[in-house]
Amino acid sequence: MRAPQLRFGKPKFPTLSPTSSLADLANPDCWFGVHQLHINPAFLSLDVEDWAASEAFQMGAVNVRGVKLTSDFVAAARSEEHLQNVLQAVEHDRSKQPNLRHCKRKLDQD
């Protein structure tokens, strides 16, 4: 999977209509992000109401939650010592997630 091309300036948003679908909004940059986060896109073929019950969606949500948690704490870090403490707290939180390691192994197998 190729990295997205860097573009400068304002992003160009698609025109939406009442008949727009999620597929209309996907572009190569979206798929690069999905790949980088190790998200199995299988749930995208389901109705949105069924996503929460999908194992692929749940595993993706765990990965996104880890990135969000890391991002929030790293942004708050002011010193190298504080940054290291934050990263340790994030790692501790991830180790408490019982299915996190299982999710990664399952994605690696797919």
pLDDT digits (tens, 9 = 90+) for 13-39: 778 889 888 778 777 778 888 888 889
pTM of the model: 0.53
Check residue 54 and give its pLDDT: 93
Domain membership of residue 67 (yes or no) is yes
Domain membership of residue 16 (yes or no) is no
Check residue 3 and give its pLDDT: 65
Check residue 107 and give its pLDDT: 54
Domain membership of residue 8 (yes or no) is no
Domain membership of residue 101 (yes or no) is yes
Full residue range of the structural domain in which residue 94 is found: 22-109
Cβ neighbours of 59 (radius 10 Å): 23
**What would the pLDDT profile of 80-91 be if each residue is shown by its tens digit?**
777 788 788 878
Long-range contact set of residues 99-107: C-beta below 8 Å, sequence gap at least 24: 99/58, 99/59, 99/62, 100/62, 100/66, 103/58, 103/59, 103/62, 103/63, 104/38, 106/55, 106/59, 107/38, 107/40, 107/59
pLDDT tops 80 at residue 6: no
Check residue 88 and give its pLDDT: 86
Domain membership of residue 10 (yes or no) is no
Domain membership of residue 12 (yes or no) is no
**What would the pLDDT profile of 50-106 be if each residue is shown by its tens digit?**
999 999 999 999 989 888 888 887 777 667 777 788 788 878 877 776 655 555 555
Burial (CB count <10 Å: 0-12, 13-18, 19+), residue 98: exposed
Question: In the chain, how many domains are there?
Answer: 1
Domain membership of residue 70 (yes or no) is yes
Domain membership of residue 81 (yes or no) is yes
